[in-house]
Amino acid sequence: MVNVLKVFTAENSELANPDKKEKNPEDETIRSNWYGVRHTQILLLFMLTNLAYGMRVNLSVAIVAMTDNSTNPNYDFPVYEWHDKSIILSSFFMGYIIPQVVAGQLAKKYGPKWFLLVTMAVGSLFSILIPTFARFGSWGVILCRIIQGFCQGFIFPSTHNLLGKWAPICERSRLGTFVFAGCSLGVVVSMILSGWISGSWLGWPTVFYLYGCLGLVWTLFWLILSSNSPAEHSRISDEEREYIESSLGNQANISETPTPWKKIFTSVPFWAILITHCAQNWGYFILLTELPTYMGHVLNFDIKSNGILSALPYLITWFLSFIFSSVADYLINRGITTIGGARKISNSIGLYSPAICLILLAFLSHGEETTALAVTLLVVGVGLNSGHMAGYQVNHIDLSPTHAGTLMGITNCMANICSLMGPLFVQYIVTDEKNLDQWKIVFSTSAAIFIIGGSTFILLGSGERQIWDSPPSVPNRRKSSTNSTR
């Protein structure tokens, strides 16, 4: 994994100092030290999103074995008759949306390190408790998932806060995308592992024990190696700290900078991110939580192959995300397009592609001869959705490095209301999980929402650092950044 990080963070001295034609000795030092402290922070955040999304989606696969004794008939594991599966799956978001905005403010004021450590530890503990609480009924699992969701509500606001302090401008697309690509890889690993474990002698309870223990191990590494900022890190070199701070500007007093709430909520580019984020989450989480059910009941895959095939689109997503982010940084750093232009190109690919694939899937007549085509459409649609990571996903930091965590908290809160509504919408529409016509309604609706989000970002989005960001000290920026157009 470190080799992958090396490939997508290596840079030349021209990108580190785009306004200077002469080589700077400091740049040569930074370039020779291809792996620095900032990369350790990014790697830890990557593992965080990886494990967090693994915990988030493992229930989507394991619940098949938890409620159907035919999936693992050779072993005596508990099986429950629950008729509220969509509510169980969506309960995570009931807790997730609560702390978002507050988490962004707390991360800015006090630093995100301890919030991430405590919330990940608590969320991991309740992953371990799920098999025990399941004995009391579906409400026990719902309670555990709500608490897990609440804890994970701190992750993205805190992550954006850290990226705003650790990721130099010319590396922002790559470093940010590498962190968020952990989500896709987490889905891949979790779906494959959860499917295999649930159908094996280990049984579905092991799925939750495994992720809970891995989460606790992560908290130990985070405690030892992480820091709220380069200025606070005790082992960072002076050269690397100066390199990061010269790119981002002096951020020593960010915690004391008041949040311009009125200007944020009257900012058109901010609303573009908000609407796009909501559209992305609706479509993405319907696919994420309901894809195993669709694969099992419509395409007739058993739980082991279901886990593998459900994970395949997210493996493609993980791989393509690096390509999109590298291309975006190349376009920006070479002056081929503005920051806003690069974000819109990536975002359009990310939202229009799954919309097209879902429309085709909705009007596809299913049968044995078309199953392969249906799987291909799902793989292509979800895979190309990775473009959004170099689109709106990092655009919060473009608009306001100072308040990036707060912006992410606001948009992630609203977007995850859509994540909560999506599975409930599926439960309302899909009364018969084998009824293809009902799934067509789900896919068509999701496609329309993707299109609305992508179009909004094209029309209203921006890559400019907003005047209301009011950082303590604004660094010299490239012409391509200041002239970014909406």
Q: Residue type at 173?
A: S
Q: Which residues of the chain have pLDDT under 70?
A: 1-34, 72-73, 249-256, 289, 292, 296, 300-308, 310, 365-369, 470-486
Give the per-residue pLDDT at 139. Answer: 92
CB 115 within 8 A of CB 158: yes
Q: Cα–Cα distances in Å, from 133 out to 79, 282, 327?
A: 13, 29, 47
What CA–CA distance (Å, rounded) separates 46 from 410? Answer: 22
User: Tokens 């049968």 — which residue?
Assistant: 367
CB 217 within 8 A of CB 117: no
Angle at 463 between CA 461 and CA 469, to 5 degrees: 105
**Residue 28 placed within a domain:** no
CATH number at residue 152: 1.20.1250.20
Q: Cα–Cα distances in Å, from 381 out to 349, 377, 452?
A: 10, 6, 16
CB 86 within 8 A of CB 423: yes
**Residue 359 placed within a domain:** yes
Cα 362 versus chain centre, distance:
26
Give the per-residue pLDDT at 477. Answer: 41
Range of the domain at 163: 39-482
Task: State how many domains the chain has.
Answer: 1
**Residue 17 placed within a domain:** no
What CA–CA distance (Å, rounded) separates 66 from 377? Answer: 29
**Residue 233 placed within a domain:** yes
Long-range (24+ apart) CB contacts under 8 A made by 69-74 are 71/198, 71/199, 71/302, 71/303, 72/198, 72/199, 72/200, 72/203, 72/204, 72/303, 74/201
Cα 419 versus chain centre, distance:
13
Q: Is 38 helix (H, G, I), strand (E, B) or coil?
A: helix
Give the per-residue pLDDT at 381. Answer: 87
CB 203 within 8 A of CB 74: no
**Residue 18 placed within a domain:** no
**Residue 270 placed within a domain:** yes
**Residue 466 placed within a domain:** yes
**Residue 314 placed within a domain:** yes
- Cβ-based neighbours of 438, under 8 Å, separated by 6 or more: 429, 430, 431, 432
Give the per-residue pLDDT at 476. Answer: 41
